[in-house]
Amino acid sequence: MPVRAGRHLSPWVETMSPPDLGSTAFRDVPADVVVIGAGITGITAALLLQRAGLRVVVVEAEQVGRSVTTASTVKVTFGHKTLYSTIEQGLGLDAAAAYAQANVAGFGQLLDLARSLSTDCMLEHGHPHIIYAEREDEVEQIQKEADVAQRIGLPVSLGHEAPVPFPVAAAVTFENQAHFHPGRYLAALAETFVREGGTVIEGVRARDVDEDGGVCQVDTTAGCLSAAHVVVATQYPFLDRGGQFAQLSARRSYGIAGVLPDGVPAGMTINVGSPTHSTRSATLGGEKLLIVVGEGHEVGHVTDSAERWVRLEQWAQERFGVTEFRNHWSAQETSTPDHVPFVGFIAPGSHRIYTATGYDGWGMTNGTAAAILIRDLIVGEHNPWAATFDARRAETSLPGKGFTKHNLHVAKTWVKDRVGGAPTGSLQDLRAGDAAVLDVSGERTAAYRGDQGELHMVSAVCTHMGCDVAWNDGEKSWDCPCHGSRFNYDGAVLHGPATSPLLPRSPE
């Protein structure tokens, strides 16, 4: 049986070079738009807005190319598992058609941008993307997806074959889709943006935005920036206004890359069953690799996350004969209750702050479509899918079952953390590599003992909304089960919506 092996980073990060952006130090430069977040939505929106004649500054908490964009399977496709039939059932055929229209536009825009870049981002167009069912009781899902996709005019076909080395019961095929290298694409987009006059600031985290007085003031860890408009492209919005944070659900998914044996078929596929296994192949470093992403779970709800990589490796070995593994990594994705992204003005009454989130794991086309929509809103152009994607519906629409279930869980978690009694155990019980939430001098404390026996202690209370964090053993992080914030073992923010670190704690 395989064991978790290979380097703990995605193959896309490993095989990209840092973009040449000149100085990325903080500076207060004149701007019409500040874009917060340098993933595919942020960088694409920045470039499109700049080409529309606006002065744009991008602020990134980490580095360009280290976002969720470079941690996925990376398929450029508008075939999104069974989302068309899911959206049609919940919102109607018009909404499913609007979702299709947006993603077809995002698909086309991404291809146009990729072909215009001076860097080889390994774009390959013309590959089919197949959604398949392995069991007979899953076939109806495939048939429904094919039916809705055909009714809204998408080029799909229904059959019983998929480019995998095992039989399938049914499959829906989206022809002429694509894949590429997301790290090289994102780096080249950022370089193009800077070369054409844009500004990128790295290593600076935005903490708040004030839009009173006709100009937005962006408070960051390095100072303040001013602009007429602000785009929050941080995957999970760190601003609590608008209600998006309360409706989004955050999930972790896991990826592996292993050497694909000669002659074994491995196309762009995804199954409709559970657990999810999303696949594609890529030639990197002279080797043809099988990429598999799946085994997802809600953030903060699983402690033994390292087991997820083992399961993926076992599946890759059993189904594709992979025995050599090169990489393992993870990513975070968000979804909305109705499975349509929140894109547009962040809240009713807000006319200068925009957000984009909730791509349900399909960020390449959704993220690019979101950038198009935000560009259109800022420059005042009509956009045909704006009403369907409108981010303000998070606050104005009646909550559905998904919203109620998610927030009931959040409320129960918050209450349990406060009335469930003090955590049991002591610091002395922690062995090297162990972590636990403990009561230390009357304070709920997240404690981790490193491999060399060193003790790391921080507050267990998430700085976003006050829920207790939970340990993630695979990534040595403290994850919040309420809204998906993540912190490293020393408390630094890894993933929002939290913007402040966990407070340090001292031993008794």
- pLDDT per residue as tens digits for the range 154-164: 999 999 999 99
What is the separation of C-alpha 319 from the centre of its chain, rounded to a whole number of angstroms? Answer: 27
For 373-431, give the DSSP string: HHHHHHHT---TTHHHHBTTHHHHSPP-HHHHHHHHHHHHHHHHHHHS-PPP--GGGPP
Residue intervals in the chain for CATH 2.102.10.10: 401-508
Sequence-distant (6+) residues with CB within 8 A of 421 are none
Q: Average pLDDT for residues 270-276, to the nearest whole number?
A: 95
39 vs 4, more confident: 39
Tens of pLDDT, residue by residue over 410-452, are: 444 444 544 445 566 778 888 888 888 998 888 889 999 988 8
Report CA Rg, the chain: 22
First to last CA, the chain: 44
Check whether 407 has a pLDDT greater than 60: no
Residue ranges, comma separated, of all CATH 3.50.50.60 domains in the chain are: 16-71+183-247+339-400
Answer whether 353's CB lies under 8 Å from 392's CB. Answer: no
What is the pLDDT confidence band of residue 287, given thresholds at 50, 70 and 90? very high
296 close to 280: Cβ distance less than 8 angstroms = no
Hey, which of 46-55, 403-412, 483-492 has the most confident mean pLDDT?
A: 46-55
Instruction: Find, among 256, 274, 253, the residue nearest to 2 by Cα.
Output: 256
Instruction: Write down the mean pLDDT value for the chain.
Output: 91
Strands (E), 193-352: 199-202, 206-210, 216-220, 223-227, 229-232, 249-259, 268-271, 277-284, 287-298, 325-335, 342-345
Handedness of CA 235, 239, 240, 243 (dihedral sign): negative
Closest CA to 466 of 422, 411, 423: 411
**Tens digits of residue pLDDT in 112-145:** 999 999 889 999 999 999 999 999 999 999 999 9
Query: By the 8 A CB rule, do 332 and 484 touch?
Result: yes
Token match 């990513």: residue?
A: 331
What is the CATH superfamily name and number for domain 16-71+183-247+339-400?
A: FAD/NAD(P)-binding domain (3.50.50.60)
- Residue 348's pLDDT is 94
7 sits in the region (left: phi over 0; alpha: psi -120 to 50; else beta) called beta
What is the model's pTM? 0.89
pLDDT in tens, 441-466: 888 899 999 888 888 989 999 998 88
- Could you tell me which residue, 304 or 341, shows the higher pLDDT? 341
pLDDT for position 246:
86
Distance CA 432, CA 4 (A): 20
Between residues 88 and 6, the one the model is more confident about: 88
* Architecture of the CATH domain 401-508: 3-layer Sandwich (2.102)
Burial of 166 (0-12, 13-18, 19+ CB in 10 A): exposed
